[in-house]
Amino acid sequence: MKTEPETGCHIPTMTAAIDILSIAFLWCASLIVTNPIGDFPLNDDWVYGLAVKHMLANGDFSPGCTTATLVTNVLVGSLFSIPTGFSFIALRVSTLTLSLLGISATYLLMRELRQPRWLAALASITLAFTPIYYALSHTFMTDVPYTALTIMAAVFFVRNLRTGSAFAFFFGTILAVAATLSRQLAISVPLAFAVAFILKNGIAKRNILRAAISPVLCIGTLLVFQQWLEATGRLPAAYVAKNNVFFHSLTNPGTILVFAKNAYVALLYLGWFLLPVLVFVFGGILGSHRKKTLVLLVLSTSALVIGSVVAMAAAHSETRFLMPKSRNIILESGIGPLTLTDILLNLNQIPVLPTSFWIVVTGLSLLGAALLITAIGLCAINLAPKLWSAKMDDNEAGGAFLLLSVIIYLFPLLASGFFDRYLVPIIPLLAAGIVSLSLPIPRATTRVCRCAAVALLLALTFFAICGTRDYLAWNRLRWEALRDLTECKHVKVADIDGGYEFNGWHLYDPQYKGDPKKSRWWVQGDTYRIGFGSMPGYTVIKEYGYFHWMPPYTGKIVVLKERLLGTQNIRGNEHIE
């Protein structure tokens, strides 16, 4: 198969269609294992679900307690809910659909950058089975729809940089506005496009004015939207919270240390997720620039080793030094989050993956981070002389745009902190940017690189599918137990602590004042609790078992009832009366 980037301007429609359909078939086949069907919220789904439900009932947008703009997500969720009415199944299908569009758009982005079919397929499958992207595709969280929109916008912006197409500029801008109305940080894409457009075409008044159109429209839309929220009394208290944290961090003398720590963590995650692509590309970089590559690799490895030693010393324990470092979706136990009360009580009733597994993951993450730093360093060295000379070719302009998007997006996150899922949107942009600025891969290294890339991708895919399947399995049982309590046993919702999603969906109250004796998740009464195992002061009255794949064990979801003083305990196998 061809390994050098294609120099022609035509991408065969049939070829692209076959590749995309093949990838889509593979991805959809994996859903048979995970079984995404289920009318229940996951993670923050309930927040966004309330906004969709309000839209369907009243034809009005109400963001609730979110910090995201959310408009695009609510409109898409409402559209998918029209045929059968509101349900979390419909919302999940909407995200799965957008996820598949994002995967397909990654393939098209690589092909738009004149990359070979095999590499385009590798990049799109890497995104598809990145554990966080794959898991969040089964939810109504904002991360995957936002990622899909930014990738599609990037495809059109790259085409504009390559051909000057007004059509591509128009649709890229429309998609960038839609992404901005999903999450605010989408402004990173039009801002980066504006800079890349000027760098490619030169600093002239006409170029500056044209380049400014897209970011001005996105930022203007964002400001008008915020003013509308304030004027109508809909602005959530948390909406500007992250902005305040970011601006405060800029004035904090300790921000440099925080930035360095967050950059180290981000490099580990990005190195892990991008490793299949990086290994393949690295062979070409090493073959073309052996001396520069080895020097940069030694320097980046040394920096990462120093960072690891510092992190280990700060952690005071081996387990905290290991991945995962930014716990939200990926946890020591697999894929989460775990949102039942016994987790808040630190009862540790969920088996974790063995330390050896996380040692391997940490090692691969460090390797990927070293390769990533090396690749970015070489890209910067090659681009630097051309930045202000308007001598960049199409691929260089596209690569500069994509890497600038990543830098602008990451800056506020590194300064103020982030969850692991916040890194998902930059994975395809970073992969495409590095590849577009790398030289062709020599044929002699192609087979070795492909085998290594495929092996790494298979391991990543296995973890993503098994972890997501387990996450859905225990949540499905949790909601089955809750339905048994509320519908069959007629227990009042207010008497149940069903975990974060259940309590938020039914009991959320912005004025809630917590009780130190209860969960912080808006609990009113906790006569009944749902958990992974027994809790002090409660008796297990029913168990729901399932088999957990990774790590393998027989898991359970239990219904607990509070023990009353002066009465006989309920037997562990007794049902609710």
Residue-wise pLDDT tens digits, 7-30: 444 567 888 999 999 999 999 999
**Domain co-membership, 201 together with 293:** yes
pLDDT at res. 54: 95
Q: Show the DSSP H helices in 232-254 as ranges.
A: 241-250
Low-confidence ranges of the chain (pLDDT < 50): 1-9, 317-319, 444, 566-577
167 and 52 assigned to the same domain? yes
Give the number of other Cβ atoms within 10 Å of residue 96's Cβ.
19
pLDDT at 85: 95
pLDDT (0 to 100) of residue 82: 95
Q: State whether 496 and 507 are in the same domain.
A: yes
Q: Are residues 121 and 184 in the same domain?
A: yes
* pLDDT value at residue 467: 97
Sequence-ordered list of residues with C-beta below 8 angstroms from that of 283, at least 6 positions apart, any chain: 441, 442, 445, 446, 448, 449
Query: What pLDDT, on the 0 to 100 scale, is given for residue 9?
Result: 45
The verdict on residue 571 lying in a domain is no
Same domain, residue pair 512 and 431: no
Residue range 125-150, pLDDT digits in tens? 999 999 999 999 999 999 999 999 99
463 and 475 in a single domain? The answer is no
The pLDDT of residue 8 is 40
Q: Two tokens at 182?
A: 């999903």
Are 466 and 531 within one domain? no
Exposure on the CB side of residue 377, measured as CA atoms within 13 A: 18
Any domain includes 37:
yes
* Last residue of one domain, picked from the residues 439, 470, 501: 470
- What is d(CA 137, CA 134) in angstroms, rounded to the nearest whole number? 5
Taking alpha carbons only, the member of 71, 93, 145, 78 closest to residue 425 is: 145
Q: What is the pLDDT of residue 34?
A: 97
The number of domains in the chain is: 2
Instruction: Give tens-digit pLDDT for 267-306.
Output: 999 999 999 999 888 766 665 555 555 666 666 666 666 6
Model-wide pTM > 0.85: yes
449 domain residue, yes or no? yes
Please name the helix (run of DSSP H) or strand (run of DSSP E) that holds residue 213, with its range, or none: helix 205-231
Task: Choose the final residue of a domain: 470, 497, 518.
Answer: 470
Predicted confidence at residue 394, as pLDDT, reads 82
By three-state DSSP, how is residue 397 classified?
helix
Domain that holds residue 131: 13-470
Residue 2 belongs to some domain of the structure: no
**Are 125 and 457 a contacting pair, CB within 8 Å?**
yes
